[in-house]
Structure 1
Amino acid sequence: MTTKLKPTLGALHLWGIAVGLVISGEYFGWSYGWGVAGTLGFLITTLFIAAMYTCFIFSFTELTTAIPQAGGPFAYSRKAFGDTGGLIAGMATLIEFVFAPPAIAMAIGAYLNVQFPGLDPKYAAVGAYIVFMGLNILGVKLAAMFELVVTILAVIELLVFMGVVSPGFTMSNFVAHGWAGSDGFSLSSVSGMFAAIPFAIWFFLAIEGAAMAAEEAKDPKRTIPRAYITGILTLVVLAIGVMLLAGGAGDWRKLSDINDPLPQAMKMIVGEHSSWMHMLVWIGLFGLIASFHGIILGYSRQFFALARAGYLPHGLAKLSRFQTPHRAILAGGVIGIIAIFCDGVNLQGMSLTAAMITMAVFGAIVMYIMSMLSLFRLRRSAPELERSYRAPGYPVIPAIALVCSVICLVAMLWFNPEIGGLFIAFMVAGYLYFLSTKSRRDDVANAEMVLESE
């Protein structure tokens, strides 16, 4: 059975995947950052993270166009640093993309629970997994077209939210109690800004996942840069606009620890029974669905790439009759559903959603560091690579992304030791499995050499 994915996606599809993977971060999750940093502290953190992501995407695109493979960061790090480097990036990316979907699924359940109070959010979350795993199995072009449609609807809905809320916005609401720990700026405010890093990253987390569809992109050297650059600009504008307007709608402290901050912010302006309010709840689901559905596509390609290279059981690289990695799709779904029902587990006093967000961010940050290190390494070790797109401002722009990522990782380990320890345990388990499967990777490498010689 073939293990080669078919190129069917254009630039617009890839933009839809890149933005759709992330856009749920504008609907929920980020407001937990207000709880630890205040609105002003979190605004500074968000601007820092937005700068990091902008530098990262402008640099990461060089890797994606030079090595358009389904593994994304795994493929880049493996070429730059060998099998061990590939393992680190691949495992980190897998953790990011496996732990983000259950957080989003729980938010989908919370949104549905607003309209149907008798519906258990957990069972709604499981239902979302079943539906969207099925859609991904039916074919990547169908999945990407669905992703594009719901992403466009989600962007429109965020613009509608900003338009409806803006007449009631006041800066006095936004700045009230704006610094963590006191009525004014203090040392605890700085601490809060660092502690809020995971929730600022949630605004942009997983945009790099479009790289995992690169093998299925038509003319990736042209379509991927267009998708990534327009995608990051779209997300920066939406993130800043949503955060400012929601924070100025009323007492932002009522929004800081919930999974549906936008409907609650709109309620402060138009009231609970407004038609605008009900529209936001229903159409707001599109933003969550876009990310949930897109990240399922992302994690399945990462499972597929790792299995194809011999890092995971080879069965996960099998393709269905629809030419989709169906076993990889189901594997990530099983892990996500188990995570949903671990609600009783307490990690650092966080809600389940906040803990899963933090775990996903740990994976993302390690992957960002490995990707930027790979960019620098490959510029020296593989000058023969065809680079139709080169990182602007090299080496300064990639260096900014790398330094910012290291700062984020250190801060997250300091403020989240339990989740950080669990993340390290997952990485160690992956490494032990890696050590035990060398013969399998050698067989895959030998098979690849035979194919290349034919």
Structure 2
Amino acid sequence: MSNTTSLTRALTPLHLWAIAVGLVISGEYFGWNYGWEAAGTVGFLIATLIVTVMYLAFIFSFTELTTSIPHSGGPYEYARRALGPIGGLVAGFATLVEFLFATPAIAYALGSYLHFLHPGFNVLYTAIGCYFIFSLINFWGIKESAMFTLGVTLLAVAELLLFMGIVAPHFRMENFMRDSMPHGYMGIFAALPFAIWFYLAIEGVAMVAEESKDPKRTIPLGYISGIVTLALLAIGVMLLTGGITDWHRLSSIDYPLPEAIGIVMGKDSGLTKLFAGIGLFGLVASFHSIILGYSRQLFALARGGYLPRGLARIHPRFHTPHVALLVGGLIGIIAVCSGTTQQLIILSALGAVVMYVMSMVSLFVLRRKEPDLERPFKAPFYPILPAIALILSLLCLIAIVVYNFWLSVLFFALLGALLLLFVSTGLHKKLA
């Protein structure tokens, strides 16, 4: 087996479900609550329903691309094939921003959860330590990594169900409706990035397509079961949490669920501490899975000639992209030192929606450009469903840019600089 280009096929539908849910499930534990600050409870509920429709339409459409082109590059490869090398660069950059900036946000939340459990834990040092630990687990091999993901994801899902069961009897509609839309309908648009956080990164399953057994059959099963699981959990957690107390108390912290349990059961309750401890599994599942995702994206972009070839090296014993794991971890550690969870979430969401737009455009182009391409799974109700995903993705993109102008300037300025370098060096012609 080559030590530069070969990955091992080992993933089953259950593994893919665990990766799909694991990639995202930390979004149910923290981050989304900043949407209350932007829109209030009802405003954020509307934003969440819009984004849920977008993701359902997107996943049913994106699965067509993933099963037709089972490539570890995922979105970058679909855009490159449909739109050429420049399209591939835009999609690859957006995907890297999404994954590389989601991980430090989760790492910081991990540090915050541990600090909640025991104030002796330093938030920043704990976050950095997490990078070392989970990069090492990913280094050991895809099968071992997937089994770890399966275990922590099952625990994380079980805990969210337990959380809903504990807080449901304490739900009061008057709490949920108090100051429910403080910024009016415009707050809905400001809250969209935080609703995206409920589902962000599920498309990372595409990046393990080359490591899946029979991807044409297993990927649809993993994707669809994953998005349904996440939609039910996201709406249940958000609704029930909003009705137990004055939601303002939970709208700007990185550990809303342990805090909510503390309000219901008392902060000194053993169950509160136990819940916060188990709650780490949700963050661990996403952190670990997104490391898997960004390492494969770096690997695929390097293999495709967009990044230095050294990033495409595969460890001869463990068959994992060890150099990509190392470099992605270093970038994340630099980002986590900023300590700005809210901004990291917005940047990650911005990268995500740009990639969603590129993917849906690629789907339409490939339908015309390659009508005979084998499509084991076809987007249902074509072209309506992918059109809904595209329109709602554009709506989210506009909202993020309007409400986060300078972060958006940073994102697009860096993309413009990369495009200029790409064209001026002639790489766009070499990769055509």
Range into which the TM-score falls when normalised by the shorter chain: over 0.9
Letter in 2 for 1:200: A
Counterpart code for 1:380? R
Residue of 355, 359, 376 corresponding to 2:347: 359
Q: TM-score, normalised by structure 1?
A: 0.93
Residue in structure 2 matched with residue 331 of structure 1 by the alignment = 327
The gaps in structure 1 that reach 5 residues or longer are 182-188, 344-351, 446-454
**1:255 aligned to which of 247, 250, 256:** 250
Which structure 2 residues correspond to residues 153-192 of structure 1 after superposition, within 5 A? 153-181=155-183, 189-192=184-187
| Partner in structure 2 of residue 401 of structure 1 | 389
Instruction: Give the AA of the match of 2:5.
Output: T
Check conservation: 2:85, 2:428, Cα contact below 8 A.
no
Q: Does 1:310 align with 2:305?
A: yes
User: What CA distance in whole angstroms lies between the structure 1 residues aligned with 2:71 and 2:416?
Assistant: 25
Give the equivalent residue in structure 1 for 2:358: 370
CA displacement, residues 111-162 of structure 1 (integer Å, 9 cap, x when unaligned): 0001221221000000000000001111111111101110010000000000
The answer to whether residue 231 in structure 2 is matched with residue 236 in structure 1 is yes
Instruction: Give deviations 1:243-281, integer Å, cap 9, x for gaps.
Output: 011111111110000000001111111111222211210
Task: Give the match's secondary structure for 2:413.
Answer: helix
Work out the number of aligned pairs and report it.
429
Alignment of 1:150-299 (within 5 A): 150-181=152-183, 189-299=184-294
Q: CA deviation at 1:437?
A: 5.0
Q: Is the 8 A contact 2:41 2:180 kept in 1?
A: yes
User: Is contact 1:21–1:290 with CA below 8 Å preserved after alignment?
Assistant: yes
State the distance in 2 between where 1:215 and 1:74 align: 14
Give the residue type in structure 1 aligned to 2:211: E
Q: Residues 441 and 315 (structure 1 numbering): CA distance in 2 closer, same or farther, change over 3 Å?
A: farther
Query: 2 CA distance for matches of 1:423 and 1:281?
Result: 34
When structure 1 is superposed on structure 2, of 4-13 and 297-306 the one drifting more is 4-13
Query: Conserved in 2, the CA contact under 8 Å of 1:310 and 1:441?
Result: no
Deviations 1:198-222 (A, max 9, x none): 0000000000001000011000000
Report the residue type matching 1:396 in the other structure: I
User: Does residue 420 of the first structure (1) align with residue 416 of the second (2)?
Assistant: no
Partner of 1:100: 102
- Which residue is 1:67 aligned to? 69
Counterparts of 2:284 and 2:357 in 1: how far apart (Å)? 29
Offset of 1:434 from its aligned partner?
2.2
CA RMSD of aligned residues (A): 1.2
Runs of 4+ in 1 over 4 A off after TM superposition: none
Residue 429 of structure 1 and its aligned partner are, at CA, apart by 3.0
Shift of the alpha carbon at 1:383? Answer: 1.2
Letter aligned with residue 37 of structure 2: G
Secondary structure of the corresponding residue to residue 196 of structure 1: helix
- Conserved? CA contact 1:40–1:179, under 8 Å: yes
CA distance in 1, matches of 2:4, 2:234: 41
Amino acid at match of 2:220: P
Q: Distance in 1 between matches of 2:424 and 2:116?
A: 48
Cα 1:383/1:440, change in 2 over 3 Å: closer
> In the alignment, residue 305 of structure 2 is paired with which amino acid?
G
Distance 2:45 2:5 in 1: 45
Name the amino acid aligned to 1:130: F
